[in-house]
Amino acid sequence: MTTMTEKVSPGFWRAAGKRLWADKLARGCLFILAVYFVLALASTMGWLAKDWNKQVAVSWAAPTMVGKQQQDSHGFKVEVIAPDAEARALDPLTPFEAELTAAAKAYQQEAVVLADTLPLGADKVGRDIGSKVIKAAQTSITVGLLAALLSVAIGTVFGAVGGYFGGRLGDALEWLYSVFTSMPYILLVLAFASVLGGGVHTVILVLGFTGWTGTYRLIRSEYIKQRSRDYVLAASAIGASDARKMFLHILPNVSHLILVQLSQDVVNFIKAEVILSFLGFGVPVEAISWGIMINEVMPELVLGKWWQLATVATVMSLFVVAFGLFTDQLRDALDPKASRR
C-alpha cells in the first residue's frame, strides 16, 4: 500500500489542505476559529454560559485586574433611622408587625453573595461579561453561519440553473439579480427586516434572502464555462439527466469556489448582524449578540465603565480578523490561479 500512495498524486482537496496547513498564518487562524466554534458549541449545548442572564456580581463589578471599585454614593450619606414611638404610632402597619414578621419567615431567603470583581467585570445588572460574551458569540456565529449557508444555497441553485440552462429561465434569473442589486444592500436588508420583524430566525432569513447575489454571479459564470466542457458532454452522451450533470458532475468542480464564498459570507453576515442588532432590527434584546452588547456599551462609557466594550471589541475583532485572514488563505489554497486583491 505504501508503494502505491507514493506514486499516486494527492487529490485536489488533500493538496489544498496541505497547502493550507503549510501556511503558519492559516494554521494560527484555524486554531483561533476552532476555539470560537468549540465555545459556541459548548454554549449551544448548555455546558457553558448557561447562567449568563443571572446577577452574579454587584452592578458594574470591575475586572479582577482593575480591582474593587469604590461604590459611588454621589456624596450622599446613608443613615439608618430607627423609628421612635411617635413614628410607630402613626404607622398603620404597627398592629400587624408581629404577624408580618412571622409570615415573612415562611419564605426562605437565599443570601446571594455578589462578587465585587469578576475576571472580565460585570454589566449594569451584575451579569458576568465573560459568560455574556460567550453567549453572544454563540448567537452571532450561529446567525452568520446559517445565513451564509442559506444565501450560498440560494445563490448556488439559482446560479447553477441560470448558468446551465440559460435561455428564458436564465434571463428571468438575471432580471431577478438586477432587481436585487439595483438597490443599496443595507436598504434592501432594512426593507426585508421591516416587513419580517425582529428575532434571531428572521435575521437569518433576511440576510440569507438578500445576500445570495454574489454567489449567484460567481456560480453562474462558472456553470456557463463548465457546461460545454468535455466531461459534461461525455456525461450527456451516456444519458445523464440535467439534474445529475448539474449537481453530480459540475457542482464538485466548482465546490471549492462555493466554500470560499461561504467563508467570505460568514464574515460579512456576522458584521451585518452586529450592525443590524445595533440599529434595533436584529437579534431581540432578550437574546444577546455582539451587536446588542455594543449597543449597551454606549451609556456605560460615559460613566467610565469600559470593560464590557473592551471585552466585546477584542473578542469580536479577533474572530473577524482571524476569519478574514483564513478566508484569504483558503482562497489561495483552493484557487491558486485567482489573483488576490
Partner 1 sequence: MLAFIIRRVLQMVPTVIGAILLLFVLFNLFGGDPANILVGKIQDPEKIAAIRASLGLDQPWWIQLWLFFKQVITFDFGNSWSTNEPVSQLIAHRAPVSMTIMLQVWLLDALIAVSLAMAVAYRRGSLTDRAIMGICTAAMSISLLLYVVVGQYVLGFKLDLFPVLGWSDSFVTNVVRYAPLPVMLLLAVSVAPSLRLYRSFIVEETNQDYTRTARAKGAGEHRVMFVHVLRNATIPIATYMAMQVPQLFVGSFLIEKVFSIPGLGQEIVESVMRSDFPVIKAITISIVILTMVINLVVDLLYKALDPRVELK
Q: Closest approach of Cβ 280 to partner 1, in Å?
A: 7
Q: Closest approach of Cβ 51 to partner 1, in Å?
A: 27
Segment interacting with partner 1, rule: CB under 8 A, options 81-89, 119-127, 245-253, 296-304: 296-304
Local structure of 55: helix, strand or coil: coil
Q: Closest approach of Cβ 270 to partner 1, in Å?
A: 9
Question: Please, what's the b/e burial string for 90-102 (b: 16 or more CB within 10 A of its CB; e: otherwise)?
Answer: eeeeeeeeeeeee
Local structure of 63: helix, strand or coil: strand
Q: Which is nearer to partner 1, 95 or 184 (CB)?
A: 184
Number of residues that bind partner 1 (CB under 8 A): 43
Per the structure block, which three cell numbers stand in for 296? Answer: 449597551
* Helix (H), strand (E), coil (C) string for 249-302: HHHHHHHHHHHHHHHHHHHHHHHHHHHHHHHCCCCCCCCCCHHHHHHHHHHHHH
Q: Which is nearer to partner 1, 146 or 297 (CB)?
A: 297
Q: Which is nearer to partner 1, 87 or 186 (CB)?
A: 186
Q: Site for partner 1 (CB under 8 A): which residue of 125, 298, 303, 338?
A: 298
Rule CB under 8 A: which of 308-337 touch partner 1?
A: 309, 313, 316-317, 320-321, 324-325, 328
Q: How far is the C-alpha of 65 from the C-alpha of 315, rounded, in Å?
A: 18
Cβ neighbors of 25 (< 8 A, separation 6 or more) are 325, 329
Q: How far is the C-alpha of 18 from the C-alpha of 329, rounded, in Å?
A: 12
> Is residue 245 within 8 Å of residue 202, measured between CB atoms?
no
> Is residue 223 within 8 Å of residue 242, measured between CB atoms?
no
Q: Site for partner 1 (CB under 8 A): which residue of 4, 78, 90, 302?
A: 302
Q: Which is nearer to partner 1, 134 or 189 (CB)?
A: 189
Q: Name the DSSP class of 122.
A: B
Rule CB under 8 A: which of 166-195 touch partner 1?
A: 175-176, 178-180, 182-184, 186-188, 190-195
Per-position x/- string for 190-229, each x denoting binding to partner 1 as judged by CB under 8 A, each - no binding: xxxxxxx---------------------------------
Residues engaged in binding partner 1 (CB under 8 A): 175-176, 178-180, 182-184, 186-188, 190-196, 267, 271, 274-275, 278-281, 291, 294, 297-298, 301-302, 309, 313, 316-317, 320-321, 324-325, 328, 339, 341
